[in-house]
Amino acid sequence: AQSVTQLDSQVPVFEEAPVELRCNYSSSVSVYLFWYVQYPNQGLQLLLKYLSGSTLVKGINGFEAEFNKSQTSFHLRKPSVHISDTAEYFCAQISGAGSYQLTFGKGTKLSVIP
């Protein structure tokens, strides 16, 4: 069974500092990886996705992630965070070309401190 592990449940960081949110996925022949953000009482919004190609993926709001097959990781980074980045972030994967089921990690709460 697939599992997505988000290594930190909470990450506090000062405004304008860099941040990395860690994610490890289950190895598979075909892997498709996603990061979603969830603001309070809202649904999930896609930040970025890795389907194939370049291992460095750029997303919205200045976020980027790097696909590392040897370490089965897909860490999310931002060089300088804003107060508005305070939210919960979910890493997710789909395994298999014909699969439909998105498996999520438990989430990481990012708190940006002024």
Partner 1 sequence: DTGVSQNPRHKITKRGQNVTFRCDPISEHNRLYWYRQTLGQGPEFLTYFQNEAQLEKSRLLSDRFSAERPKGSFSTLEIQRTEQGDSAMYLCASSVWTGQHSPLHFGNGTRLTVT
Other beta carbons within 10 angstroms of residue 26's beta carbon come to 14
Residue 31 Cβ vs partner 1, minimum distance, rounded to whole Å: 11
Residues within the interface to partner 1 (CB under 8 A): 4, 32, 34, 36, 41-46, 49, 51, 90, 92, 94, 97, 100-107
**Nearest to partner 1 of 43, 114 (CB atom):** 43
**Nearest to partner 1 of 52, 114 (CB atom):** 52
**Nearest to partner 1 of 81, 107 (CB atom):** 107
Question: Residue-wise over 30-67: b if at least 16 C-beta within 10 A, else e?
Answer: ebbbbbbbeeeeeebeebbebeeeeeebebeeebbbbb
